[in-house]
Amino acid sequence: MYDEFLQQLVQLNFLPLCIIVFLIIFIGFNDVYEHEVTVMFVKPIFFLILLIVIDNFDYYMVNGGNSSIIHKIITVLGYNVRITLMLSLIFIEIREESHRAKMLLLIPAFVNIIITFIGLFTDLVFTYADNGDFVRGPLGFTPHVVSLIYSAILFIYGIHILKYDRWRETVVVCISTVLSLLGTGVETVFMLRGILIGVISLVVAFFYMFMHVEYFKRDIMTGALNRVSFYADTKNLESKDMVAVFSIDLNDLKIINDTQGHSAGDDAIRGAAQVIRKDLKKGMHFYRIGGDEFVIVSVGIGKDIVESTEMALRADMISSTYKFAMGCAFMENDEVFDDVYKRADREMYLNKRMMKGERRKNLQKSATV
């Protein structure tokens, strides 16, 4: 009996533990170069290890026919750590969204905590029979419903970011969501153990490897494509139709850094990127190529739509707390991309000088009043 239990324990844990060991070693090697990515995945890996420990305690108690309050506590912890692990991955995915949006996402998790802890004192969620058999109560599917809610949010957000030129991330998110749902379904329907924890381990590793690749293509702070991607993507644009370039520069970043600190400057960069990103159309590629420098490259989009986007960007900038100068240029026949970019850059600097002149006039008017 003991040998059979040990065999099943090894079978349940071998693959997840191998994945975790691989992840920890890989993260250790890359922390110096990708510290931001490492910080993102500390919580998911911690909750994954905790979940494996809890699941093993639960399996030991089920195997021994344990129906004590300790077994109930272990079950409640397992329900909530699963949800917390999922939430930690969602927070990585929505890393560019507002603090308020992230706080709203905590509501289903808190509801799950309250309802599942009721299971310690009532039979509404679950109980264990005298022989240790699990008996689901009327609210027993609450953790599954919350998991479905978070899976739906993750899936919808994955579709939403398609318009931000993040289709690869959409593929990763959607595949991960579907695999997690399949793992949950297989465990629930066939009363199996170890399937979901294996799937979750693979998802965490898969997502980390994807972010590792994205680190070299994207700006981690804003989610925009980085300077390397900009030069790679604009090599052969001369063969494309309807190419336009926006050159954008965030105003007063140095003043913000000097007077409010670099964390405030980082917030300004992220905030400006959010203002810019929400007006982008499909076919518009968004880059951060320097500290306060952004570029939008529009490919295959008509001039009227590009011009309406420029107007929307200027209007949103005026209504936001972030001010940025902007110039736009369209590629002419037989023109190379560098020339178009230089024209857009010149237009941006003209706009910046105009904005500074208007600000000086307003200050002078205020001083004379």
Local confidence band at 185 (pLDDT 50, 70, 90 cut-offs): confident
> Rounded to 5 degrees, what are φ and ψ at 226?
-95, -175
H helix and E strand count, the chain? 13, 6
State mean pLDDT over 105-130: 91
Q: Which two tokens stand for residue 229?
A: 């991607």
In the prediction, which pLDDT does 132 show?
A: 77
Local confidence band at 2 (pLDDT 50, 70, 90 cut-offs): low
Q: From the CB of residue 34, how many other CB atoms can be counted at a distance below 10 Å?
A: 19
In the prediction, which pLDDT does 67 show?
A: 79
In the prediction, which pLDDT does 364 show?
A: 65
- Reduce the DSSP state of residue 125 to 3 states and report it: coil
> Is the pLDDT at 182 greater than 80, yes or no?
yes
Alpha helices in 64-141 (DSSP H): 69-93, 99-104, 106-118
Measure the CA–CA gap between 194 and 201, rounded to whole angstroms: 11
Local confidence band at 367 (pLDDT 50, 70, 90 cut-offs): low
Measure the CA–CA gap between 157 and 145, rounded to whole angstroms: 18
Q: Which two tokens stand for residue 26?
A: 């890989």
Measure the CA–CA gap between 152 and 160, rounded to whole angstroms: 12
**Chain mean pLDDT for the chain:** 87
In the prediction, which pLDDT does 115 show?
A: 95
- For the ranges 196-210, 285-299, 348-362, the lowest mean pLDDT is seen at 348-362
pLDDT in tens, 271-295: 899 899 888 888 899 999 988 899 9
pTM (two decimals): 0.73
Write down all domains in the chain, each with its CATH number in brackets.
2-215 (1.20.1070), 227-368 (3.30.70.270)
Contact 81, 47 (CB under 8 A): yes
> Rounded to 5 degrees, what are φ and ψ at 365?
-60, -45
pLDDT in tens, 41-61: 999 999 999 999 998 888 888
> Is the pLDDT at 33 greater than 70, yes or no?
no
Q: From the CB of residue 162, how many other CB atoms can be counted at a distance below 10 Å?
A: 13
Sign of CA dihedral 176, 165, 251, 211: positive
In the prediction, which pLDDT does 111 show?
A: 95
